[in-house]
Each structure stands twice: as C-alpha cells, then as structure tokens.
Amino acid sequence: MNQSIAYLGPAGTYSEAAALAYLNQQSVKFSGECSLCPYPTIAQTLRAVAEGEVSLAVVPVENSIEGSVATTLDTIWQLDQLQIQQALLLPIAHALLARTSNYEGIKTVYSHPQALGQCQQWLEKSLPAVKLIATNSTTEAVQQLDQDEFGGAIASMRAAELYQVPVLAYPINDRPDNCTRFWVVSLQPSQEGTHTSLAFSLPKNIPGALVKPLQVFAERGINMSRIESRPTKRAIGEYLFFIDIEADAEDPLVHSALDELNACTETLKIFGRYPVIFIKY
C-alpha cells in the first residue's frame, strides 16, 4: 500500500524534516512506497488529508519560543474529521542564509513568522536596521533570494544545502533548546496513545463559564499539559479552548470526564489519542 504524506513545503522546511523523521521511525510498518507531498500553506496541507488527496499530513502546532501555530489550531477545528496519530518533538536550529559576504550587505530578511519570532533577539542585536518580511515557509524565504541580491533568509541547514546558498551564521535562534511540536494527522483514529487533544466552545460568555470544564479534569486527577484560547470568529469576546491532557481518551476515567465535559460545553471536538515521540539528531 502506498503512503503519501503532506507537509508545508517546498523541500527544506522543518515540516519536511519532521515528515522525514516520521517516515524513518515508521519505515518497518510501511509495506509499500512512501512519497512526500509539499503544499504551500499549512491549511492546504491539512485539507489535502481531509479531501483524501494524501494519507497523512505533518503540521507544526507549537514552538517552545513562539507558542502555538494559530493556523493549525483553526484549521483542525474546522476539519474536525481529522485525527491525530502522533506528536513529534523536533529540535529546531536556524541559520542565516545570504548570497552577500557579510551582514552589512543585507537589507531584508525573509522567513516564516514563527522563525522570525524565534530569532527576534538575534536579529535586533546583529541586524537591527533590516526589514523583516514574512513568507509562507522558511524554504520560500530562501527562494526569495533569487530575486533579492541584498536579501537574507532564516532557514534550515538542509535548505542551504538544497538551494546552494551560503550560511552566514548558525545557529541564530534565541534559545539553544528551541523545539517545535508537530502533529501527524490522518482520517483514521490512532490505536494507542498517552495524550489526548480536544477543543470546545462554551454556551455563554459569563463569569465562571470556564471553571466547570476545567474542574472535570481536576477532580479526576487528569493533568492538562496545555490550554489555549482562540477566537470563534463569530463575535469579539467569544473563544474556543484547546486542551491537551496527559491521558488516553480510551481510559474509562477519561471517558467519564469527556461525557461530563460534553454536558457543560456548547461544542466538544476530540482530535485524537496519540503517543509523543522526541526526535533526536
């Protein structure tokens, strides 16, 4: 059986690195050919799975410096048929790429907004006068250098090799322990898991409305490893709440918690149970 995996492209992005890492650790389970399919945006990457164009997608969901990737959360709420198969924790080390020979020749720096944020302090110290321009991916930033002789790009060392662009500085991320969490998603539920991700909206925006949903887990001793709000996009002040719990959704205790949670929320969506894998280089 052939497996196709969507990721935020083009080749050389950290999403591709995560997809390759997933393929490597799953190689013994795949019995046919595997292909990587780049897409220009995270939303299109996830929709490719929902529409059956590919088997799986690997998308970034959270960075240790810049926090959550809003597009991933918003899209997975909309495409609630998707199920998380696995979480991958990938170390991230950024490089400054440019065709100029020194910093003084750089007038503009391109990169994905997350990468720009992860290198903010370095940029303020080393290139305080440059213009920062956001791109759809770190590899797209590298491709911009073909049209901008005074440009620099923040991207991976793999991108530097693939597109043959010199590296002026490495690593440049503000913290050496920079790490991004990726989700592997498909249309099929996972058969195992140590974590569960879900999201819900509340029936009314009133004082204490969030207390009851949180008590559902606290009363059972279920640890929440993450909680984050996102706007519902219906009205200002209305939010969705995304939660990760360190527990398997198939556990009877978690089952009872989710049943109670369903009764005190407007809409509840379970995105799946899954294991968490740390990728080492």
Neighbours of 53 (CB within 10 A): 14
**Local confidence pLDDT in tens for the 281 residues of the chain:** 578 999 999 999 999 999 999 988 876 465 567 789 999 999 999 999 999 999 999 999 999 999 999 999 999 999 989 999 999 999 999 999 999 988 989 999 999 999 999 999 999 999 999 999 999 999 999 999 999 999 999 999 999 999 999 999 999 999 999 999 999 999 998 988 999 999 999 987 777 788 999 999 999 999 999 999 999 988 888 899 999 999 999 999 999 999 999 998 999 999 999 999 998 76
Q: 253, 240, 245, 252: which is closest to 272 by C-alpha?
A: 245
Whole-angstrom distance, CA of residue 121 vs CA of residue 172: 9
Residue 59 φ/ψ, nearest 5 degrees: -130, 145
pLDDT at residue 280, as a whole number: 79
Q: Where are the alpha helices (DSSP H) in the chain?
A: 14-26, 42-50, 70-78, 113-118, 120-126, 138-144, 157-163, 211-218, 252-263
Q: How far is CA 272 from the centre of its chain?
A: 16
Whole-angstrom distance, CA of residue 198 vs CA of residue 182: 16
- Do residues 179 and 91 touch, judged by C-beta distance below 8 A? yes
Please enumerate in sequence order all residues whose Cβ is within 8 A of that of 50, keeping only pairs 6 or more positions apart, or say none: 79, 81, 82, 187
158 strand-pairing partners: none
pLDDT at residue 265, as a whole number: 93
Whole-angstrom distance, CA of residue 168 vs CA of residue 172: 10
- Do residues 63 and 116 touch, judged by C-beta distance below 8 A? no
Whole-angstrom distance, CA of residue 33 vs CA of residue 159: 24
Query: And the tokens for 132?
Result: 């920062």
pLDDT at residue 29, as a whole number: 60
What would the DSSP string read from start to end of 235-267?
STT-EEEEEEESS-TTSHHHHHHHHHHHHTSSE
Neighbours of 6 (CB within 10 A): 26
Report the interhelical angle of 42-50 vs 70-78 (nearest 10°): 20
Helix (H, G, I), strand (E, B) or coil at 80: coil
- Do residues 240 and 229 touch, judged by C-beta distance below 8 A? yes
DSSP letter (8 states) at residue 94: -
pLDDT at residue 1, as a whole number: 53
User: Given the DSSP bridges, would you call strands 195-201 and 167-169 parallel, antiparallel or unpaired?
Assistant: unpaired
Please enumerate in sequence order all residues whose Cβ is within 8 A of that of 170, keeping only pairs 6 or more positions apart, or say none: 93, 94, 95, 96, 157
